[in-house]
Structure 1
């Protein structure tokens, strides 16, 4: 008899949760009313009669008027969601912070400058740079905040504004000087004006790196270096019903790893974290860096995935599109890894048995990655590798069918339809291509495993909202993009639970309410299968259960 069997045999530590309804996402037993928990895992699931063995002798934690479903799994987001809230939010859409406060979205460049001006005024006597995030000029007819605009706020204080996509940044003249960027800087992505001097727009990481070097943790994707950011991230996720979330770009530094272990070890920390190593940012150590970190995995900290970024952002015009390119004639985007180097770059991690998560926004980027995966599998075959295309927004039926044949998964950025669908329809790709973006319904039809994600902090971390985006396919103006591609609600909910867990190789641990898995639940006020689909994105989350412990959302 194992130790776990002994724990189950002793009823002292067993708790039984009783709910109005339990949606298990387990096709063999879709619904229940009772779930027994022991040692942080699910001991039994069923109705009152089948659970009498446990309910007769165990204390009952009652959530009788609530609906339980598996704890939601956010398969592509970033810890920097927790770090951003130390900077000024200047995004177009309303956004809730880790304290629950809702920040109003800003609908004009003037409103953005006004919020920045107020923030700069509050910093009187503080010499630190003014940092902000969430700006997106595509909502303002492409109007950038060039250096001279930001110089009007302060001619002495360095200012940096990270775009909503995090693929671009605008800075003022003092920040350019502090970062050592000038007319002689020869780095792709540093945009130069007609006068040969930098405009203050920086595209992609190589161009932004000099700024990150001088501002330290501020706006940094390396958020695991900050204990405060990790806590903030956990609060944002828990408010949305999430119990497992990724940090899909992580340097795996000794200090960052130590912080993650310290924070997740705290019983009050409400989620499990899956960090993904980013070799493009931190190439030292290679696969061994991940394998060594994985040896320290705990119930709440799961190392193992590896993240590569091949192209940029569609709305930032840095993604790589196939012919005919951008609808408004903008030049094609940037390769963050040259296509000729993909097999060489991926192979060490693939050969080490690690799972790759590969950012491909544009369909040209998807093409070259599929070529690389096929070549790599021919050289080094692997069964059940689950390499995953992340975002994969413009993939067509042929590309998705090829991904299915290669044994891959896809994780779609479904929120993009709502946030940037109108911009893609009118500016970046045109109606026909915008109508096919994020075609999760095609993957369902062909049997390609898929998930849905928010890419937080790019958009709000709220999987129920993400499921609504895939089911409704409505833009923020109410335009429907590709009505025939609307995903059934049941499949959208599967994609934010068991589908996301499968894409992370964690479906044996999370994603459904089944015996042996972690006792992780989202506690809802209503049944998402019964509410009108229009209400799905605003469903209230009462709280979560992580390993059998209740975490109540603030009233």
Structure 2
């Protein structure tokens, strides 16, 4: 049976036919798009008018987020901005150190004796004065280990109990373990190597919680409510257990999303990683697409762990740290490129961008590949010379547009200064150079909401209302493309999703307003009513 959905307007993202009113679906794929007249000749059809007063777009594609969004809500949220969890519960966050300490103390009282207290989302960059350390946590909780993951997920702070339990007070020379004035670890642990010592001691790794079917289902619900039908997990450990969970959840008929995990390159040796990725390609399905590897170069700008070129941090803080030696990162680029794998590379600072441009240039010279679609992720302060190099190498860029709102004020005042903030997420320049571009949320770092992300790309407003880099604004239509077809292209799925065209999966998002008709400033407030995945309707909650 063919079902024809009728809408007030359909925005297709197909340049040959940008708008329509009817879309025909058969066997989960798009059979026809156009006017009522274009539906003639399809044989017996079922007319579905439930969206006749709404607007349909291609299902949104989130090209950089993490299934950790489905797992972190098991723990205490301490972010600066209030948020709602997948069940709709309101979390007020913490706007002061005192409020954070009180919430820690209250939450500890609900836990069994000795059970570690894990919190997440805290962002010390918002607080003036002394950086968060073990003493501030000790003042709140001393009877159990306390672990606070910062919002960036690149830094954690732990209390003295946790430091002693992990034995880190005996190893102050490990990179990433920050020291206080007394020469002893102050509780702040930067980047993966230092944080791993804590997870190893606890016998759990927060980043591996994505291997739980419960977490994956919750992640899917979050995506559905945001209008997302294709979803990434861009730092998946790709354990055997995790792969089985991905298969189990995506085979469920009511799974509302297609999942695209990217294997964490640093979790495996080069030989193991390449072999594992190649073996996984046969284990996917219509809702599960393997093939990407994620490399983690530097850290986060607001966490002061990103690698910046001269003059480094605006407020004089030391430059960031690498998650692996630069030569090791170059070797990984060459090996995965030679193996035919598509690379998605975390590059927050412009020094990290430079390193990866050099590595990719060398790899492409040795092993030329057409249409490789290697993608630099975040690339927040990529400069114009680097953008031209990226264009010449045929790279894709997926920029963290939400950063403009959440950390734009901080970057202008403290980390980057005025001029570099004018090119923060330089989307318009990238488009002028013909670079394939997407934008993303990096959830759970910021909330998963493609319409908000598109609003950030269009308006470029900070939380205080300041506009950063007016010349880098893009149009609403361009921003919509970045959260649909543009993101699909970076995942090598644009032949299946991202636009509403004959033969593609019938993946759609239903909105209560037309984004092209409302004022650009209202883009983030448009309501998501439902999604359609392969012709199956999923109502948003």
**Partner deviation per Cα, 1:403-447 (whole Å, 9 max, x = no partner):** 011010000000000000000000001011112110011011111
Paired residue secondary structure (2:53): strand
Q: Aligned pair count? A: 540
Cross-structure match for 1:383: 370
Paired residue secondary structure (2:214): helix
**1:339 Cα shift?**
2.5
CA distance in 2, matches of 1:503, 1:261: 23
CA distance in 2, matches of 1:142, 1:541: 41
**1:61 Cα shift?**
5.1
The one of 22, 26, 32 equivalent to 1:34 is: 22
Cross-structure match for 1:253: 239
Q: What is the RMSD of the two structures over their aligned residues, measured on CA atoms? A: 1.4
Paired residue secondary structure (2:515): coil
Cross-structure match for 1:23: 11
CA distance in 2, matches of 1:184, 1:410: 39
CA distance in 1, matches of 2:252, 2:147: 34
Cross-structure match for 2:263: 277
Matches within 5 A, 1:89-238: 89-123=77-111, 125-141=112-128, 143-217=130-204, 220-238=206-224
Report whether the alignment pairs 1:531 with 2:501: no
Cross-structure match for 1:395: 382
CA distance in 2, matches of 1:352, 1:174: 45
Report whether the alignment pairs 1:82 with 2:70: yes
**1:309 Cα shift?**
1.0
Task: Kindly indicate whether the alpha-carbon contact (under 8 Å) linking 1:183 and 1:192 is maintained by their aligned counterparts in 2.
Answer: no
Task: Kindly indicate whether the alpha-carbon contact (under 8 Å) linking 1:20 and 1:64 is maintained by their aligned counterparts in 2.
Answer: yes
**1:229 Cα shift?**
1.0
Query: Which has the larger displacement, 125-134 or 468-477?
Result: 125-134
CA distance in 2, matches of 1:257, 1:433: 41
Task: Kindly indicate whether the alpha-carbon contact (under 8 Å) linking 2:247 and 2:284 is maintained by their aligned counterparts in 1.
Answer: no
**1:54 Cα shift?**
3.8
Matches within 5 A, 1:510-521: 510-521=497-508
CA distance in 1, matches of 2:526, 2:342: 33
Task: Kindly indicate whether the alpha-carbon contact (under 8 Å) linking 1:318 and 1:332 is maintained by their aligned counterparts in 2.
Answer: yes
Task: Kindly indicate whether the alpha-carbon contact (under 8 Å) linking 2:334 and 2:359 is maintained by their aligned counterparts in 1.
Answer: no
Paired residue secondary structure (1:65): coil
Cross-structure match for 1:345: 332
Matches within 5 A, 1:346-361: 346-361=333-348
Report whether the alignment pairs 1:449 with 2:436: yes
CA distance in 2, matches of 1:541, 1:225: 28
**1:396 Cα shift?**
1.4
CA distance in 1, matches of 2:35, 2:253: 30
Task: Kindly indicate whether the alpha-carbon contact (under 8 Å) linking 2:439 and 2:453 is maintained by their aligned counterparts in 1.
Answer: yes
Task: Kindly indicate whether the alpha-carbon contact (under 8 Å) linking 2:6 and 2:52 is maintained by their aligned counterparts in 1.
Answer: yes
Report whether the alignment pairs 1:43 with 2:48: no
TM-aligned CA distance change 1:286 to 1:106, over 3 Å: same
CA distance in 2, matches of 1:353, 1:505: 13
Give unmatched runs, 5+ long, in structure 2.
Answer: none
TM-score normalised by length of structure 1: 0.95
Cross-structure match for 2:465: 478
CA distance in 1, matches of 2:323, 2:519: 42
**1:186 Cα shift?**
2.9
Give unmatched runs, 5+ long, in structure 1.
Answer: 1-12
CA distance in 1, matches of 2:445, 2:45: 48
CA distance in 2, matches of 1:503, 1:526: 27
Paired residue secondary structure (1:58): strand
**Partner deviation per Cα, 1:335-375 (whole Å, 9 max, x = no partner):** 22323333322122111111001111111111111011111
**1:185 Cα shift?**
4.0
TM-aligned CA distance change 1:311 to 1:171, over 3 Å: same
CA distance in 2, matches of 1:534, 1:188: 44
Report whether the alignment pairs 1:504 with 2:491: yes
CA distance in 2, matches of 1:427, 1:461: 26
Task: Kindly indicate whether the alpha-carbon contact (under 8 Å) linking 1:394 and 1:438 is maintained by their aligned counterparts in 2.
Answer: yes
**1:69 Cα shift?**
0.2
CA distance in 1, matches of 2:527, 2:204: 33
Task: Kindly indicate whether the alpha-carbon contact (under 8 Å) linking 1:120 and 1:153 is maintained by their aligned counterparts in 2.
Answer: no
Task: Kindly indicate whether the alpha-carbon contact (under 8 Å) linking 2:4 and 2:45 is maintained by their aligned counterparts in 1.
Answer: no
Matches within 5 A, 1:290-305: 290-305=277-292
CA distance in 2, matches of 1:541, 1:165: 27
**Partner deviation per Cα, 1:190-233 (whole Å, 9 max, x = no partner):** 11112222111000011100111233456x12233211111111
Matches within 5 A, 1:54-93: 54=42, 57-60=45-48, 62-93=50-81
CA distance in 2, matches of 1:55, 1:329: 70
